[in-house]
Amino acid sequence: MVQQPPYKIQKEDLLREDETSDNNFYSTPRFVHHIDDRARFILSRFYKHMIVQQQETQTLDICSSWTSHLPQDWIGKVHGLGMNELELKHNPSLNNGYTVQDLNCDPKLNYSSDTFDAVICSMSIDYLIQPLEVFKEISRILKSGGIFITSFSNRCFSTKVIGRWLYMSEIDRVYWVGNYFLSSSDFNHQTLCAYSIFDNIKQQDNFFDPMYVVFGYKK
């Protein structure tokens, strides 16, 4: 449970080494995995455990790409929002379409309020330069009791993540993301949780990527 008092987010915390257009950076599709097999497996299991799967379940994958890290037997409708259309087209989980949008330029989500049962953001929360605006929009489009799950490891494109991310320890990054939830009055802080999931990873197994998950429920 994240209980640390909220960080005060300064403008300089969100500055990046490379402030050129994200559209240029993400224009070339990257059909590669950014975390190893075990980390992907753990995240997939976590999604299946935490999100109620029914035919009518609506899930939004923000900052999506060619994979959503959802199980292959996922039940329900999944819509993706990302920056590279070719990647989104190749994402087999997006059975309910996709939207091409740069949240760093426009954090406004073009979805009706109280629409989604779950929102997920995998390996991308550290790239948002307007995180509180995005969190406000996510809370708007989530149904009451809906879940927002963020996840990340220790890899990143160092020139495009927010500057503060590079100078924090991994556990401080967990608190930092938790702070986004704590800074919003729309999420139930009593059910804000953070996990560091290693699943008994051993160095000799050649799996090195930890998996951190921070999630909360809309009031």
Please state the rounded mean pLDDT for residues 137-145: 97
Please name each of the domains of the chain with its CATH number.
11-218 (3.40.50.150)
Among the residue ranges 12-21, 87-96, 114-123, 206-215, the one predicted with the least confidence is: 206-215
Element spanning 184, H or E: none
pLDDT classification of 188: cutoffs 50, 70, 90: confident
153-166 pLDDT tens trace: 998 999 999 999 99
Q: Is 142 exposed, middle or buried (0-12, 13-18, 19+ CB in 10 A)?
A: buried
Residue 204, pLDDT score: 47
Helix, strand, coil: what percent of the chain each, to 5?
30, 25, 45
Please state the rounded mean pLDDT for residues 30-58: 91
Residue 197, pLDDT score: 65
Closest CA to 119 of 149, 94, 93, 86: 149
Residue appearing with tokens 């920056």: 83
Contact 68, 93 (CB under 8 A): yes
Residue 2, pLDDT score: 57
Query: How far is the C-alpha of 97 from the C-alpha of 107, rounded, in Å?
Result: 19
> What's the mean pLDDT when you consider all of the chain?
90
76-87 pLDDT tens trace: 999 999 999 999
Residue 189, pLDDT score: 77
